């Protein structure tokens, strides 16, 4: 028997704007200015994927393929091995994170708080004793929206990592300048789900060996890692669900399905890099 998959109700707009990506075109002067604002005065070096300004205290890495960048303090221990003598509160972390994102976040998108998570270290010195738990800091995580629609995937997010002392220990802002151009019709939801169900991922599974449940689905623009060039953000259906098999009773997955018809030749003629990224399952 073919594998049945259950889906919840999913709404997708019938037409969405194409979000064309403006090339990054970082210059050494741009990277130098950003590094200076982040407190690193050393000149950036071109290391291929990145322009990197680095001092003994901190590093700034600019991703040449997008408008993304990363800041990291190099003089703070990532495992808080010096000891964390105070517990950083969620509220304090959030205030530090918001101040950073207000100053360094993108101007052309709405950053909204997604979560505040723990940066946790466990240390064990004896196999019979409970490990020591250290809260090394908290990460304040943001996601972005453009034109009121969410950006999904690894390449559209920001994080401010707040050290237990209250200092910013590191941060990144993964982002591409995207502008709405023409509108494009989305595929019928039934067609998207059918393509997902027929994908190679499920080819060898049957009703007798597996159970698949999609718990949620939403429309968003897929953004690739900040190291990868993109000509346009990819209209996608983000699906989250669970697969159960004997070998793996609960495998929670997140996957992406193209929400518009992608014509590879047309993408090439339009000089769109990564028009059909490998992250799309169907």
Partner 1 sequence: MGTIGIEWVQKYNGLQLNLSNTKAQAEGFYNTLSATRRFNWGDDLAWDQDFEQSGEGSPSTGTDTTWADDVDFVFFSGHGSPSGFLFGKKLDDAKAKPTEITWGDRQLEWIALDACDVLARDGVFDRWGWPVFNGLHMILGFDTTTGDEPDRGRLLAQYLNAGWTVREAWIRACQDTEDSDTQWAYLRADAQGTDTYHDHWWGKGAVSSDPLNPTTLFYARAAC
Q: How far is the CB of 57 from partner 1 (least distance, A)?
A: 15
Q: How far is the CB of 247 from partner 1 (least distance, A)?
A: 5
Q: How far is CA 220 from the centre of its chain?
A: 12
For residues 78 and 179, which CB has a smaller minimum distance to partner 1 in the complex? 78
d(CA 7, CA 23): 37
For residues 7 and 172, which CB has a smaller minimum distance to partner 1 in the complex? 172
For residues 41 and 47, which CB has a smaller minimum distance to partner 1 in the complex? 47
For residues 25 and 248, which CB has a smaller minimum distance to partner 1 in the complex? 248
Burial class (CB in 10 A: 0-12, 13-18, 19+), 181: exposed
For residues 190 and 200, which CB has a smaller minimum distance to partner 1 in the complex? 200
CA angle 99, 103, 109 (to 5 degrees): 105
CA angle 94, 99, 102 (to 5 degrees): 120
Q: How far is the CB of 49 from partner 1 (least distance, A)?
A: 6
For residues 113 and 188, which CB has a smaller minimum distance to partner 1 in the complex? 113
For residue 97, give both structure tokens: 């994170």
Point out which residues bind partner 1 (CB under 8 A): 47-50, 52, 70, 72, 78-79, 81, 114-115, 117-125, 127, 131, 136, 139, 141, 143, 152-154, 157, 159, 161, 172, 174, 200-206, 209-210, 224-228, 243, 245-248, 251-255, 278-279, 281
Q: How far is the CB of 239 from partner 1 (least distance, A)?
A: 12
d(CA 171, CA 97): 9
Residue 253's nearest CA partner among 189, 190, 223, 210 is 210
Q: How far is the CB of 266 from partner 1 (least distance, A)?
A: 23
**Tokens 């530090």 identify what position?**
96
Residue 36: which residues within 8 A CB-CB, separation 6 or more? Answer: none
Question: Is the separation of the CB atoms in 147 and 19 below 8 Å?
Answer: yes
Q: How far is the CB of 182 from partner 1 (least distance, A)?
A: 28
């Amino acid at each position: 028997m073919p594998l049945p998959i259950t889906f919840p109700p999913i709404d997708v707009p019938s037409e969405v704007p194409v979000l064309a990506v403006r090339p990054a075109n970082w210059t050494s002067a741009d990277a130098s200015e950003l590094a200076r604002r982040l407190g690193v005065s050393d000149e950036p070096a071109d290391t291929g994927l990145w322009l990197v300004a680095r001092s003994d205290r901190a590093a700034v890495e600019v991703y040449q393929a997008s408008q993304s960048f990363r800041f990291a303090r190099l003089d703070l221990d990532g495992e808080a091995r010096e000891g964390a003598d105070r517990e950083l509160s969620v509220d304090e972390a959030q205030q530090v994170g918001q101040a950073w994102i207000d100053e360094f976040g993108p101007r052309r998108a709405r950053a909204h708080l997604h979560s505040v998570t723990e940066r946790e270290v466990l240390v064990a010195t004896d196999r019979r004793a409970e490990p020591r738990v250290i809260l090394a800091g908290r990460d304040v995580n943001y996601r972005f929206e453009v034109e009121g629609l969410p950006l999904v995937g690894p390449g559209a997010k920001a994080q401010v990592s707040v050290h237990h002392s209250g200092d910013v220990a590191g941060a990144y802002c993964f982002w591409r300048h995207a502008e709405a151009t023409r509108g494009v019709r989305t595929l019928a939801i039934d067609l998207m789900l059918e393509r997902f169900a027929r994908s190679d991922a499920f080819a060898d599974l049957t009703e007798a060996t597996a159970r698949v449940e999609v718990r949620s689905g939403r429309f968003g623009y897929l953004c690739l890692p900040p190291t990868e060039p993109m000509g346009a953000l990819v209209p996608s259906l983000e699906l989250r669900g669970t697969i159960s098999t004997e070998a793996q009773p609960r495998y929670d997955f997140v996957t992406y399905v193209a929400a518009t018809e992608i014509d590879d030749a047309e993408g090439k003629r339009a000089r769109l890099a990564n028009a059909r990224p490998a992250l799309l399952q169907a």
